[in-house]
Copies of this chain bind each other. A is one copy, B any other.
Amino acid sequence: MTDQLSKAFAALADPTRRDLVARLAADGDATPGELGAPYAMSLQAVSKHLKVLEEAGLVTRSQKGRRRPVHLEADVFDLMTKWIERYRREAEERYARLDAVLGNLTGSDDRERDVS
């Protein structure tokens, strides 16, 4: 799980982290304390979640006095949507071609192909 894409998907697999991202997107930068306030979990747990988001590249943290505001980085979102959209498009195109073939022939056996 070392690559960026895996980390990004894994980061967003957790509802709490998705909520953190949603709130950062809606309200802008916020500190761990502010971010953690709504949840019934320790600040340390929130800090861990933020670390996961940071290592996934979804978030950066800076130091403003003794506060450490968290900032959402939108770039990784592009990485994810590109991956998803690529294969969704490929699948759709493939099914479109299949439909075309079925429409033309009404019955043909083209199977038994090795997956490289």
Chain A contacts to B: CB under 8 angstroms: 1, 3, 5-7, 9-10, 12-15, 18, 21-28, 30, 34-35, 37-38, 72, 74, 77-78, 80-81, 83-85, 87-88, 90-92, 94, 98, 113-116
A50, chain B: closest CB distance, angstroms = 14
Report yes or no: A91 in contact with B115, Cβ–Cβ below 8 A. Answer: no
Q: Which residue of B lies closest to A97 (CB)?
A: B28
Subset of 23 A-B contacts with CB under 8 Å: A1-B13, A5-B18, A6-B18, A7-B13, A12-B83, A18-B83, A21-B87, A25-B87, A25-B91, A26-B87, A26-B90, A27-B115, A28-B98, A30-B115, A34-B115, A74-B92, A77-B85, A77-B87, A77-B88, A78-B88, A80-B80, A81-B84, A81-B85
- When distances are taken between beta carbons in the complex, the residues of chain B under 8 Å from A87 are 21-22, 25-26, 77
Q: How far is the CB of A24 from chain B (nearest CB, A)?
A: 7
Q: Which partner residue on chain B sits nearest A113 by CB separation?
A: B27
